[in-house]
Structure 1
Amino acid sequence: MTTSPYFTDEVFENIDFRTKPFNTGEFDNCSFSKCIFSEVYLSNTQFVECEFDNCDFSGAHLKNCSFKEVSFFQTKLIGLHFFECLTFLLSFDFEECNLSYSSFQNLDLKGTRFKKCNLEQTDFSDANLSEALLENCGLKNALFENTNLEKANLYSSYNIHMDPDKNKLKNAIFSTNGALALLSKHQIIIK
């Protein structure tokens, strides 16, 4: 019986895992800088308390991948199916990341922080975003349906379009423009 490799406190820089084989295993307190994971199969990989800076995960395969207390900074995460990740202790935050066309469908994202992220056409349907922070995020065509946004802070986010009748919004924080966007389905004129 073979055991999966275990990496702790290691730094990985400028590695293109499309051309260099990726070792599936557990990465604990590791940092990745300018690494490319695009289209890479990350199945059965655990990232625990890891940081990713200026990496590219676009199109990576996340089935049974685990992210526990992971931070992403200025990273491309386009078109990812986060809902395929293992949900036990799932926890991450994002700053200045591009998460366009990704899906967080059905995930518990309570308290997750998204700062200055592009969330264009990102799917948050049936997700729990209660107490989440979406600070200065672009939400053009993001999908919110049956999403729990109670106590979430969307004050500085923009291009918000969601049906307040199909989401839980109690005590969610919106700017005046964001709140007015919630009324767009009624096609009323506000002067």
Structure 2
Amino acid sequence: MSLNSTTPAAGAHTVADATLAREDVQQLLGATQQPLRFEDCDFEGADLSRLDLRGAEFQRCNIVETSFFGAALTQTRWLRCRARQADFASADLVDAAFQSSDLNNTNWRRAKLASASYHGCKLTGAYFEECSTLGLTFVESLLIGAHLRGFSFRKATLQELDFSDADLAGADFREAIFEGGSLKDANVKGARFDGADLRLADLSGVRLVDAGLFRGATISHQQAAVLVTELGLRVL
């Protein structure tokens, strides 16, 4: 392990420009009681499963195909990280924050995501199943083709979220407000939209598998024409 390690006045123990394996991280955890801050570090393919990294910060790090399975990651911060195919399954990510990060094709199965946030992230193909999500927020993020079955977005304000081709079967959007974004070609079978405001969302390609799917939702005249067209009817 070749690294530049410092302990700034702010209290975090900073590691910069290092390539780190599991043994290196364990050594760092054993050497300090302070939260760790990783800057421009490379963890690609590393097995960091079940490690206690509570309060750690990851800035501009490469965590492609890294395993955080079952890890303690509460109050962690992730900024501009590259995390394609990283595994966060069963990890504790309560109050974690991800910003401007590539999280495409990541696995979050059974993760604890209460009060976690994703802002400006790429989550194409991300797999969320059996997660605890109370207070979870997504802002200006790509969720194209993501697996979000049964997710609750009830009463949430959804800012520029792209759910194109996502699996939203059984999701709860009751009283949600869509500020832009897209549901294009999404699977919304069994989803609830009662009281939702969908006027700013792209609804093209939505399949009306249930005639009452959008009962009680607010849509624009233009969207109504699109949905009627999906039913094979002509609007003259």
TM-score above 0.5: yes
**One-letter amino acid of the structure 1 residue matched with residue 108 of structure 2:** L
| RMSD of equivalent CA atoms | 2.8
Q: How many residues of Structure 1 are paired with residues of Structure 2 in the alignment?
A: 186
Quick one: distance in 1 between partners of 2:166 and 2:214?
22
The structure with the largest alpha-carbon Rg is 2
In the other structure, the counterpart of 1:13 is 44
Q: Which has the higher strand share?
A: 1
Q: Encode CA deviations 1:47-78: one digit per residue, 9 max, x unaligned.
A: 11112111111121112322222221111112
In the other structure, the counterpart of 1:166 is 195
- What secondary structure is seen at the aligned counterpart in 2 of 1:155? coil
What pairs with 1:33-48 in structure 2 (closer than 5 Å)? 33-48=64-79
Quick one: distance in 2 between partners of 1:177 and 1:158?
7
- What secondary structure is seen at the aligned counterpart in 2 of 1:31? coil
Quick one: distance in 2 between partners of 1:172 and 1:23?
37
Paired-residue identity, %:
18
Q: Encode CA deviations 1:71-119: one digit per residue, 9 max, x unaligned.
A: 211111123343322x5x8442301111123355545534221112111
Quick one: distance in 2 between partners of 1:181 and 1:93?
30
Deviation at 1:132, TM superposition (A): 1.5
Structure number with greater CO (CA < 8 Å, separation at least 6) is 1
Gaps of 5+ in 2: 1-10, 12-32, 216-230
Gaps of 5+ in 1: none
Segment drifting more, 60-69 vs 154-163: 154-163
Equivalent position to 2:89, from 53, 58, 63: 58
TM-score, normalization: structure 1? 0.80
Deviation at 1:153, TM superposition (A): 0.9
Q: Does 1:143 align with 2:172?
A: yes
* Alpha-carbon spacing, 1:42–1:97, altered in 2? closer, same or farther (3 Å): same
Equivalent position to 2:113, from 79, 82, 85: 82
Task: Tell me if structure 1 keeps the 8 A contact 2:148–2:166.
Answer: yes
* Alpha-carbon spacing, 1:182–1:82, altered in 2? closer, same or farther (3 Å): farther
